[in-house]
Amino acid sequence: MVSKAIVILIISMLCVLSASCSADTGNDGIEAASDPPRDSESIATPSEVQKVSAAEGKQLMEELESYVLIDVRSADEFAGGHIEGAVLIPANEIAERAEKELPDKDMPIFVYCRSGARSANAAATLAGLGYTTVYDLGGIINWPYGITNN
């Protein structure tokens, strides 16, 4: 016979699992562009990568006096359309080029790619190199604010 304590334990575990599943941001874990913007407390802490949605990133970029926006896709992908103001530094070159092209390690940096995998790796690389305020925007496929070919 199952004791009352075991039944309570099982029910508690199911509640915890249920709560963590309902906190999912979508089918694949990517936050939707319609997520509400974060308040000013969302500024990334030093040497920590902050994952932000397109809406959160756009709001932060509007609030900041200066920042760098880096597209870590290939040159061909960049030429096919990128977020206005972005600088191209392909993910496979970020470690070699960062110190020269991004001399201010305290400048807020936003990183994006096509779907989010390369940007996560590039953002972690930048944080590992000592950049203090790094935001991972994820993929341009989730950027609803328009792109440019200029």
- Mean pLDDT throughout 67-86? 97
Q: b vs e for 75-95, b when ≥16 Cβ sit within 10 Å of the residue's Cβ?
A: eebbeeebbeebeebbbeebe
Round to whole Å and give the CA distance between 29 and 26.
5
Domains in the chain, CATH or no CATH each: 40-142 (3.40.250.10)
For the entire predicted model, the pTM comes to 0.69
Q: Is the pLDDT of residue 15 over 80?
A: no
* pLDDT computed for residue 79 by the predictor: 97
Question: Higher-confidence residue: 48 or 90?
Answer: 90
Residues 70/60, Cβ–Cβ less than 8 Å: no
Q: Which of the residues are catalytic?
A: 113
Q: Write the pLDDT tens digit of every residue in 36-45.
A: 344 444 444 4
* pLDDT computed for residue 31 by the predictor: 39
Round to whole Å and give the CA distance between 51 and 65.
20
- Mean pLDDT throughout 88-117? 97
- Mean pLDDT throughout 81-106? 97
Which positions ≥6 away from 105 have C-beta within 8 Å?
129, 130, 131, 132
What is the share, in percent, of the chain residues with pLDDT greater than 70? 69
Q: Is the pLDDT of residue 24 over 60?
A: no
What mean pLDDT value characterizes the chain? 80
Round to whole Å and give the CA distance between 100 and 59.
28
11: tokens are 């029910």
